[in-house]
Structure 1
Amino acid sequence: MSAPSPRQRRKDARPQELLDAALALFVEKGFAATRSEEIAARAGVAKGTLYRYYPSKDELFKAMVRDNLSVHIAESAAQAAQYEGPIANLLAQMMQAWWAKVGHGNAGGVCKIMMVEARHFPELARFYVDEVITPSKALIGGLVQRGIARGEFRPVPVEPTVHMLIAPMLHMLLHEHSFGAHDSCHEAMSAEDLLDAQMALLLHGLLAQPPRT
């Protein structure tokens, strides 16, 4: 069987090139302000080529969310399903891994876009809730419930606890993709350090027998 030609390889790569171009432009300009022809030009193709792969800007956005966020949620869920160690350790590892894969790069900007523009695009907002928010809350909530069932965590209301775990991450995402480049303390206080501090504070409140200092 002969190897694919350069033309075929480029054709096969186009969907990913379009997703990468869309992510970069959506983060730079926002969803509403980004035009389809700009995405096509950034990817080096004609506008008609874009529509052959993604029929509308909305569908392109959905594919970009799946490519940059949904896949990491699914990976974390698979990891959690096989994990047998302390839930506190897994929560801390997942927060750090999520920041490394999503929060620190352009993908984290998608969360900011949805918080800013969701009200103007209700269909995309519903999609984002179903694709990102609901699975994320179910994953973290399931871990909190497992910790309670094992006696590792004290009995706490799961839903508010999930929000407490997620909220600092959202704060860092907003900071990273708005004031981050202009904050004089940005380099001195890393997101990783903030996550460590957050988990130490929250988990010592969750543990049935907090460690002695």
Structure 2
Amino acid sequence: MQTHSYPAARAPATPAARRSQRKQVRAGELLDAALALFVEKGYAATRVEEVAAQAGVSKGTLFLYFPSKEALFKAVVHENAGRPLADAQRQVAEYAGPTAELVHEFIRRWWTQYGGTPAAGLTKLIIGEAANFPDLARYYQGEVVQPSHDLVRGIVQRGIDRGEFRPVDAKAAAHLIVAPLAQLVTWRFSLAPCCPPGTLPDPQALLAQHADMVVRGLSLHAPETA
């Protein structure tokens, strides 16, 4: 006679565990609502009452999670830009293949994990409002911009150290690699909705060509310029 084994029944969640799960879900809903409104309206024009209403809670409930609009914005940046960046740092550290392939993979993943998502609107937002909210701009610089540049500089230096890339100023190269990425998402959330279709090439095709040009420019066998 054939016997069957069944997994042990999972113990029901405790009241404390259920409360913790509800808090995590609600915090996520508030962050999603805040991201959508910040990107659509900008930081100054977004009111916490609107965020709470869009998330289906009261303003008082929102303040239980985030004590101010500034704290809410910083949490949005951390969750939607800082956390994916930390994931990218781990992926780069674990990559074992050639650096040229790493450049292509990094730029592809940048698009799928940030550039092609609603979170990329934060780049355009901070560029537009940095002068009016310097504390938020400094936070974004420390949470997103500087770590991004450090990551790309590390990729370039990896190629140099392995003898795959020619010796260049890795810091300057990082700026040159990142600048088109920032321009692409700025375009996406500003002029692109107002322009005729086809004004800008397909973003993924454009990024693939960008990665190819970066690799060719850094190649150890690239011709020297005068």
Q: TM-score, with normalisation over the residues of structure 1? A: 0.92
- 1:69–1:132 contact (8 Å) kept in structure 2: yes
Match of 2:5 in 1: none
Q: What code does the residue aligned with 1:41 have?
A: A
Matched with 2:49 is 37
Matched, 1:52 2:56: no
1:122-201 map, 5 Å: 122-186=134-198, 189-201=201-213
Aligned residue in 1 for 2:12: 2
Q: Distance in 2 between matches of 1:150 and 1:175?
A: 36
Secondary structure of the residue that 2:208 maps to in structure 1?
A: helix
The reply on whether 1:68 has 2:80 as its aligned counterpart is yes
Which one has the largest radius of gyration? 2
Unaligned runs of 5+ in 1: none
Partner of 2:216 in structure 1?
204
Q: Which consecutive residues of structure 2, in runs of 5 or more, have no partner in the other structure? A: 1-10
**2:153·2:170 contact (CA, 8 Å) conserved in 1?**
yes
Match 1:83 to one of 95, 104, 112: 95
Q: Give per-residue Cα distances to partners, 1:33-90, cap 9 Å, x unaligned.
A: 0001110011010000000000000000111111101111111111111112111111
**Percent same amino acid among aligned pairs?**
44
Distance (Å, rounded) in 2 between the aligned partners of 1:166 and 1:127? 19
Distance 1:45 1:166 in 2: 38
Runs of 4+ in structure 1 off by over 6 angstroms are: none
- For 1:4 and 1:115, how far apart are their aligned partners in 2? 45
Q: What CA RMSD, in Å, does the superposition of the two structures yield over aligned residues?
A: 1.8
* CA–CA separation in structure 2 for the residues paired with 1:184 and 1:4: 55
1:188-209 deviations in Å (ceiling 9; x for gaps): 7211011111111221110012
**CA shift at 1:32, angstroms?**
0.6
1:115 to 108, 127, 133: 127
Task: Give the TM-score normalised by the residue count of structure 2.
Answer: 0.87
Q: How far apart in 2 are the matches of 1:184 and 1:47?
A: 40
Shift of the 66–85 alpha-carbon distance from structure 1 to 2, 3 Å rule, reads: same
Q: How many residues are aligned here?
A: 210
